[in-house]
Amino acid sequence: MKKIFSIAIDGPAGAGKSTVARAAAGALGAMYLDTGAMYRTVGLYFLRENLLEDREEIARRADGLNVSVQFEGGVQRMLLGGEDVTEAIRTPEASMAASAVGAVPEVRAYLVRLQQETARGISIVMDGRDIGTKVLPDATLKIYLTATAEVRALRRYAELREKGERPPFHEVLDDIVERDYNDMHRAASPLTRAADARLLDTSNLTLKESVDEVVRLAREVIGG
Ligand code: DC
């Protein structure tokens, strides 16, 4: 029987974690879980309720949230109270909301539990900010994926242009810098590199080179 493994990929916004993690999971025959999408879903809920400024109410409601993950042909879909919000969470407002609710410990406790339940008994690649440090502390392989803020902003800028949006570049960069600051300076599970995580700087790597490196590191530890 093939050994079950788990791969934790953490790093700042725009480092290419989800694209790399999804492709690596495909190559390794594992499930891919995008945990940022879960924070975005919770963020969207509080954005709609107009409660983003009210940390106490966010904390109070965290445990009763109705967030679930479904996989349709291996593709992750996010449900909020039964509504499919997979597309609705991909807006700049939802990213900022995700960053805000991710600072609330009760939200993290709720989502970490959901993430650990999803990972149980299967081979999985998970990406986020605290996967190697909190969610899967015993992961088979931990990777800290990063790139300079400028390179990350350029990549996001290109993505937005492709979607027909034309934001000024400095806004995209400011957004990245602000989210880095929030994610690294919050009291609850700030973004840090786990002591045993391998550092992968993708500033000068193509997407394919990044994926190949993750797959190579994974094969090294899981064999095969
Ligand atoms: O990876 P992303 O851009 O979809 O993440 C959205 C926000 O969610 C990001 O600002 C930080 C937060 N997040 C987190 O705190 N912990 C995670 N495991 C994943 C995301």
Q: Is 21 in the pocket of ligand 1 (CB under 6 A)?
A: no
Among protein residues, the one with the nearest Cα to ligand 1's atom 16 is: 129
Residue nearest ligand 1's atom 2 by CA:
36
pLDDT of residue 153: 95
Q: Is the CB of 32 under 6 A from ligand 1?
A: no
User: What does the pLDDT read at residue 69?
Assistant: 95
**pLDDT band (50, 70, 90) for residue 1:** very low
Please report the pLDDT score of residue 14 as a whole number.
Answer: 85
The pLDDT, as a whole number, for residue 74 is: 80
What is the arithmetic mean of pLDDT over 87-116? 95
Q: Whose CA is nearest to atom 1 of ligand 1?
A: 36
Query: pLDDT tens, 129-168?
Result: 999 999 999 999 999 999 999 999 999 899 889 989 999 9
Annotate 63-112 with three-state secondary structure: CCCCEEEEEECCEEEEEECCEECCCCCCCHHHHHHHHHHCCCHHHHHHHH
Q: Sorting pLDDT into bands at 50, 70 and 90, what band is 2?
A: low
Ligand 1 atom nearest the C-alpha of 115 is 18
Confidence of residue 7 (pLDDT cuts 50, 70, 90): very high
105, pLDDT greater than 60: yes
Q: Which of 20-24, 144-148, 180-184 has the lowest mean pLDDT?
A: 180-184
Which of 33, 34, 35, 67 is the pocket-test mutation for ligand 1 (most atoms within 8 Å of CB)? 35
Ligand 1 contacts CB of residue 13 (under 6 A): yes
Task: Say whether pLDDT at 174 is over 50.
Answer: yes
The pLDDT mean for the chain works out to 94
pLDDT at residue 224 in the model: 64
Phi-psi category of residue 83: left, alpha or beta, with phi > 0 → left and psi -120 to 50 → alpha: beta
Residue 39 Cβ < 6 Å to ligand 1: yes
Question: In 3D, which of 16, 18, 56, 15 has the Cα closest to residue 39?
Answer: 18
Minimum CA distance residue for ligand 1 atom 13: 36
> What DSSP state is assigned to residue 141?
E
Tokens of 169: 């570049």
Percent residues over pLDDT 90 in the chain: 85
pLDDT per residue as tens digits for the range 39-95: 999 999 999 999 999 999 999 999 999 999 999 988 899 999 999 999 999 998 999
Ligand 1 atom closest to Cα of residue 13:
3
Q: 39 CA to middle of ligand 1, Å?
A: 6
How many Å lie between the centroid of ligand 1 and the Cα of residue 191?
9
